């Protein structure tokens, strides 16, 4: 009785493996045909068009990770005393938060948090 059930499980696993291989092959085939289906002569041209359609692919709203222009995952910035001092200096020079973030390689919310901690933000009324 148990031996029969074990044989059924093994047969089901073999069937699942077969289905997975079949799906992988079909997916590969369908993906390879996409550029031609949409009138592109090369995969590179198709990829460029897809990136353009989604806004360049550089900005992902609400994502925990973002990609730098080199395609590598950005690591979490470490905010040091030096970073805080640089933010303070750049604020005093009149630079915008976005410009500071870009120059220091940190996010705009990080800049805003540092400005808040340093008391460089005007209080809301």
Rounded to 5°, the CA angle 66-55-72 comes to 25
pTM, entire model: 0.41
pLDDT value for 120: 85
Fold of 76-125: Arc Repressor Mutant, subunit A (1.10.10)
The predicted structure's pLDDT at residue 61:
46
pLDDT means per 10 residues, the chain with 125 residues, are 93 96 95 91 89 69 50 75 92 92 91 91 74
Which tokens in the block code for residue 96? 């915008």
Rounded distance, CA 33 to CA 31, Å? 5
Structure-token pair, residue 34 = 């996409």
Ramachandran angles phi, psi of 23, nearest 5° = -65, -45
What pLDDT, on a 0 to 100 scale, did the predictor assign at position 83? 92
Amino acid 64: pLDDT: 46
Q: In whole angstroms, give the CA distance from residue 89 to residue 91.
A: 6
pLDDT at 78: 83
46: CB partners within 8 A, 6+ apart: 34, 35, 38, 40
Dist. CA 101–CA 120, nearest whole Å: 15
- Domain coordinates of the chain in residue numbers? 76-125
Closest listed residue to residue 87, CA positions, set 123, 122, 95, 78 = 95
């Amino acid at each position: 009785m148990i031996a029969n059930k074990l044989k059924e499980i093994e047969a089901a696993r073999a069937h699942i493996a077969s289905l997975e291989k079949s799906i992988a092959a079909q997916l590969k085939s369908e993906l390879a045909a996409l550029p031609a289906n949409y009138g592109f002569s090369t995969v590179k041209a198709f990829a460029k068009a897809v990136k353009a359609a989604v806004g360049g692919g550089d900005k992902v709203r609400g994502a925990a990770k973002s990609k730098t222009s080199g395609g590598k995952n950005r690591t979490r910035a470490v905010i040091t005393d030096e970073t805080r001092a640089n933010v303070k200096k750049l604020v005093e020079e009149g630079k915008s938060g976005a410009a500071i973030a870009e120059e220091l390689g940190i996010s705009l919310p990080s800049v805003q948090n540092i400005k808040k901690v340093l008391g460089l933000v005007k209080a809301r009324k």
